[in-house]
Structure 1
Amino acid sequence: MGGDGKKFLKTRAPFYLAGVTILAVFIIPNMLAVELRDIIPETLSPDEMEVLQSVFDYTGPNDTGINVYEAISERVVERYPDGNVYEHHSTILHVIVTNTGGGLYRVVLDFESQSDELYFDMNINVTDGEVTGNNNLSKDVIDLVYYYD
């Protein structure tokens, strides 16, 4: 590398370093962030995934505000505020989708991490898309979806 090349690098090196630092600090961690969707078991059938996705996408009768997925994610963050619980080695998500007949499915998300558990138990009517909670935590999630502004 001649004198011109060294001069070129010396004058621009701080800018290149700043660019790499910005990428490493701000962009790359966001691209690698783990969320609830990333820990869903891959053993679900396509039909089960479709039902689960319908539950996640439910935004209540007025189709505004947050959806069930966002409400569940908020509950998880409230329970584990110290960091990204989805990356913790003890985190496990069990998902059970059961056809109960008549267009109704029961969807259970059993979220376990750090010796604690969040148990979401919901029904979805695939005919009209309505989701209802079967336990207090799930009812709270549905209430949040209905009344979130």
Structure 2
Amino acid sequence: MKKDGWTCHVGCDAQVTTLCPCSKEISEYGAHNQRGSVSIQVGLFEQASLPDDIKAALLHIIESNASAPLYPVLKRPDEKKVTEEAYENPRFVEDITRLIAIELYEQPWIKSFQVECRNEESIHQHDAYAKCSYQKTCRAILQVFYFHIFIHSIPQS
């Protein structure tokens, strides 16, 4: 945590599994997966009642909104379960970013946030990237969302 004026900021980064909704829709045999990187930065209300473990809460928000969590090692039956879970929860980067943003917005202890998600594409020569920021102001009526989707090209060898 770092103190910045009156706002305390906390961050969490995690790797996730994503499954492409387009390839699932058009393919008779399956869909392609990507490894996604998600980064959350949140500003906390100073007088808010905070979760006991803020980083665990943020990690849960990230992993529960991906197609599936990412694991360091899996046995075959577990690998089957994870790939089936991802297949049943296809997500674009913008889906993950939006779902995480909605969940962060609902947390009364969060004053502001920034969510970034980048998928390392498995069959395209570009990565997909989405970013969303939110800032609560003194006037509860004036709450601003802005959302950007970018496609980053990977240089060919």
TM-score greater than 0.5 by the shorter chain: no
- Normalising by the residue count of structure 1, what TM-score does the alignment of the two structures yield? 0.29
Greater relative CO (CA pairs within 8 A, separation 6+): 2
